[in-house]
C-alpha cells in the first residue's frame, strides 16, 4: 500500500469511527486517576492536498496513576499509542493485553476497550491520532448505543 493510500485510509477511518455517536451521549467517559495533556495539534497541510485542511494530527500525553483507569470507550479517530513508562492493561471484550515501556500499538477507534494501571507506579503513554480538523475536546467517546 502506498503511503498516500495509507493516510487516506486512516483519515476515512476517523470519519467512520464517528458513525453512531448520538447527541444524547454523555460528553465524557468514566475515568479515575487518568490525566491527559495535549502536546501538539496541527491541521494537516503539505503535499497530500486531498487531506489538507480536512484532518489534524494530535499528540496527547496520558498518565495513569496507580489504580487509574478509563472506562469503556471508542476514539473519534484512529491512532498509534506508545507506552513511555510503566505497564498498561488494555482490555477488550475477548482479550487483555499488557503493554510495557517501549511498546507501541494501533487503535482503529471503533473497538470498545478499557485501560487500567494495575501496578504501583505511573503509566505514561503518547497517543498519536488523526481527527477531523474541526474536532474539539477529548477523542475518547462513549460507546455508541446499539439500535
Band (131; pLDDT cuts 50, 70, 90): very high
Shortest CA distance to 8 belongs to which of 60, 58, 52, 74?
A: 52
pLDDT in tens, 61-72: 999 999 999 999
pLDDT of residue 145: 76
Summarised one tens digit per residue, pLDDT across range 85-110 is: 999 999 999 999 999 999 999 999 99
- Give all domains of the chain, ordered by start, each with its CATH number: 3-22+31-141 (2.60.120.10)
pLDDT of residue 19: 41
Cα–Cα distance, 88 to 122 (Å, whole number): 9
Query: pLDDT value at position 45?
Result: 96
Residue 57's closest CA among 140, 136, 132?
A: 132
Mean pLDDT of 16-42: 72
Cell numbers placing 94: 475477548
What is this structure's pTM?
A: 0.79
Q: How many residues appear in the chain?
A: 147
b/e code 20-42 from CB counts within 10 Å (16+ = b): eeeeeeeeebebebbeeeeeeee
Amino acid at each position: 500500500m502506498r503511503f498516500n493510500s495509507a493516510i487516506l485510509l486512516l483519515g476515512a477511518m476517523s470519519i467512520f469511527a464517528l458513525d453512531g455517536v448520538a447527541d444524547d451521549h454523555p460528553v465524557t467517559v468514566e475515568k479515575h486517576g487518568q490525566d491527559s495533556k495535549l502536546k501538539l495539534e496541527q491541521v494537516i497541510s503539505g503535499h497530500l492536498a486531498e487531506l489538507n485542511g480536512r484532518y489534524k494530527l494530535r499528540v496527547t500525553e496520558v498518565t495513569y496513576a496507580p489504580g487509574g483507569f478509563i472506562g469503556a470507550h471508542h476514539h473519534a479517530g484512529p491512532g498509534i499509542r506508545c507506552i513511555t513508562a510503566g505497564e498498561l492493561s488494555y482490555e477488550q471484550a475477548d482479550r487483555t493485553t499488557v503493554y510495557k515501556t517501549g511498546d507501541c500499538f494501533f487503535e482503529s477507534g471503533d473497538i470498545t476497550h478499557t485501560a487500567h494501571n494495575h501496578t504501583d507506579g505511573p503509566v505514561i503513554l503518547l497517543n498519536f491520532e488523526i481527527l477531523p480538523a474541526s474536532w474539539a475536546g477529548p477523542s475518547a467517546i462513549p460507546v455508541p448505543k446499539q439500535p
